[in-house]
Amino acid sequence: MISGRNEPIMLPCSAPIGILLSKLKNFRRHFSTFVLTRGLMTALLGSAFIYLDHWGISFLWLNSILGLGCLYLLLPSDKAVWASAGFFTGIFWFWWIALSFNHYHMPWAVPLVVIVMGLLYAILFWAIAFLSEYLSCRVQCFTPKSSDALYGRCEASPPALFTLSLKALGLWGLSYIHPFGFDWFKPELIFVESCFGIEKWQFAIILAGIVLTLWKKQYAYLLILLFAWQPLSTAKTTLPKDIDIVTTHTTVENKWNKTLQPEQFSMLFAAIDKAIDENKSLVILPESVFPLFLNRSASLMDALRKKAEHISIVTGGLYWDGKTPRNSTYIFTHNTIQIANKVLLVPFGESNPLPDFLSDWVNKVFYDGAVDYKADNHVTDYKIDGNTYRNAICFEATSEKLYKGRPKKMIVLSNNGWFTPSIEPTLQKLLLQYYSRKYGTTIYHAVNMSSSCIIRNGQAQKL
């Protein structure tokens, strides 16, 4: 159509393009180079203790400074920086989860899962900062408009005490949020190998000291942190002479290869015989080193029962009750056999936390129609030579539920083959140190595909 005025011709798609450009500008405004850099630096400081420990570097004073630096950068930042810090933290802490998809022949899913982990914690961090800024804006701003409060546009001065306190409270409570039952993210874990304690009240003191320092801009308030002072013991931990913990190095693919199992089983019995020759009273083997329904294998059960006449044996194996499979610990002591089933299953790895209609679809598409394991209802304690041990299998040993009643001793069996090589074994060990330090539990940890260890009063000694 010809117009008498010299006007530009507007194509139908120009409006959507304009909206898209506007959105991109808005994104760039919220996630500038400064935001991304500050978020990355915060995440690096908050994750450094994991990687330093992984590389065999552990200094109490260094971990203390790194942890305090992370909190000092994070608390006064706005919600965009919190989202950025959460994104990088989620990746730095949990990128290894994606490695398990390689064993299901889905390498294409690895980068997607890594990004999902980052986005998950970006949302959690952003929600804390958003709610803190929104509530602070509503309380402190002079006659704010509701839309101003919603988007954080108010004329309040830089981070006020109320805003900082709300963010600190949100961070303090973040360890109680467990996405899909996965509870490995604990902000106070950054101080597990430091000069400070890891109890919730001690973490609250640390947060309070930093909040007051930021609010008053006076470093003298950091003296408050002395009330949380509780350096990790540096006393060397040793394994009792009568206990042998066996470390195995069997990959996931080899473990489930039935043609290789006879050789693997021979190695396990050789390890038991070696412990007997060394006059040990207890030998501990890793999780599911017998990757079959052990209770249905008469020959293996008889062989282990005979060995138990000379030494107590704790080993991992599968259990079948005729209906559902279980991941279990088998305890052979003299003429008795006890079976302790796993209580907390790995989300998606052993049990699907999604609703049934989604769970069945996910199991069919991603896990070749595999049936979920069944969890037991009660934690199991068992006795060996007069000593009481709390049973724990891999993931559940890093959950609060297993430490109810403050068990003095715990035997943990793990298979880290799904996630190696990565930082997963290191993060697992740090979490076990956290619980050992918190509850005074001595942990005997037998592992496949990474170092076994003993942990006492938060101090770990690799074997």
Active site residues: 287, 342, 394
The C-alpha R_g of the chain, in whole angstroms, comes to: 26
C-alpha dihedral, 406 to 407 to 408 to 414, nearest 10°? -120
Task: Take residue 161 and report the two structure tokens written for it.
Answer: 């005490």
What's the rounded Cα separation, in Å, for the pair 85 and 67? 14
C-alpha dihedral, 393 to 397 to 399 to 405, nearest 10°? 110
Say which amino acid occupies 234.
T
C-alpha dihedral, 221 to 227 to 231 to 233, nearest 10°? 180
Task: Please tell me whether residue 188 adopts helix, strand or coil conformation.
Answer: helix
Angle in degrees, CA 430, 171, 115, rounded to 5: 70
What's the rounded Cα separation, in Å, for the pair 256 and 350? 16
What would the 3-class secondary structure string for 379-424 be?
Answer: CCEEEECCEEEEEEEHHHHHCHHHHCCCCCEEEEEEECHHHCCCCH
Of all helices (H) and strands (E), which one includes residue 378? none
Say which amino acid occupies 318.
L
Task: Take residue 35 and report the two structure tokens written for it.
Answer: 């935001």
Give CA separation, 444 vs 56, 113, 259, 411, in Å. Answer: 20, 32, 31, 5
Helices (H), 219-260: 252-255
What's the rounded Cα separation, in Å, for the pair 285 and 243? 11
Burial of 45 (0-12, 13-18, 19+ CB in 10 A): buried
Task: Take residue 224 and report the two structure tokens written for it.
Answer: 């408050």
